[in-house]
Amino acid sequence: MGCPMPSALLVKFFHDLPTPRQGEDFEIWRTRHFRATQRFKKRLLAKYNEGTLLRLLQSDCEETRKGALFALGLTASMDANLAMSRLLHDDDGEVVDMATAGMWNLWFRASIETNNKELQRLLRLRDREKALAGLMKLAELAPDFAEVYNQRAIVYFRLKQYEDSITDCQKALEINPWHFGAQVGMAQCFMKLRKHRSALKAFRATLKIHPRMEGVRDAIRTLERVLGEEGRRDDKK
């Protein structure tokens, strides 16, 4: 069954996006996809605004929800964050995947353009110490840019500075309470520190945001076995 208006045009735009060809070189595919995405964005902005796309997230049609999530990931303000997060609980796995990708896209461009580009530049640096120094400067320039703290937390994690990583995860979550990446990152830090009760609590909090996040349920089951009755008792609080 087709999707009703006004979503039919959005779904058409979404379906017009290319898929990788068998044996296609990755760089060729990336260029082709980028150009198609720019065309999608131009067509989208001529017909839809953020409010309409947010309403379409509530559609009974899975293709409409996926198209709206893709569109919001490209164009929306952070005002769309909460509505998009609700689709992480969708019954359709592909919708959940699209919500996950769309929210990451939203988070990486949540500040002004110069800050967004600087974050991307810093993430391309291979020198972790230089990346860390750059992220510290960017956090000073854009203290409300949650993704800066999340990415700095990742650098700290790789440097085995787990307490600093936890602090940055918490800061990212203060700014963006639906940041499932920061939440699960904090859980992984607690695991490294062998703080199993804190890790279990953090993993459970991740599931409340993103019920299908890969590996989280297995981690919870493992920690519940390690903690025994204590872990099960914590779940009832």
Domains of the chain: residue spans and CATH? 7-108 (1.25.10.10), 113-235 (1.25.40.10)
Name the helix (H) or strand (E) containing 211: none
pLDDT at residue 4 tops 80: no
Please answer whether residues 48 and 63 qualify as being in contact, where contact means their C-beta atoms are separated by less than 8 angstroms: no
User: What is the C-alpha separation between 188 and 171, in angstroms, rounded?
Assistant: 16
Task: State the Cα torsion 145-177-153-120 to the nearest 10°.
Answer: -40
- The predicted pLDDT at position 229 comes to 56
pLDDT category, 2, cuts 50, 70, 90? low
Backbone dihedral angles phi then psi of residue 235, each to the nearest 5 degrees: -70, -20
pLDDT tens, position by position, 185-232: 999 999 999 999 999 999 999 999 999 999 999 999 999 999 985 555
To the question of pTM greater than 0.85 for the whole model, the response is yes
* Mean of per-residue pLDDT scores for the chain: 93
pLDDT in tens, 74-96: 999 999 999 999 999 999 999 99
**Amino acid 7: pLDDT:** 73
The yes-or-no verdict on residue 1 having pLDDT over 50 is no
Q: Which two tokens stand for residue 97?
A: 């995947």
- Using an 8 Å Cβ cutoff, are 224 and 231 in contact? yes
Per-residue pLDDT reduced to its tens digit, 99-152: 999 999 999 999 999 999 999 999 999 999 999 999 999 999 999 999 999 999
Q: How many CB atoms lie within 10 A of CB 10?
A: 27
Closest Cα to residue 55, out of 73, 74, 37, 69? 69
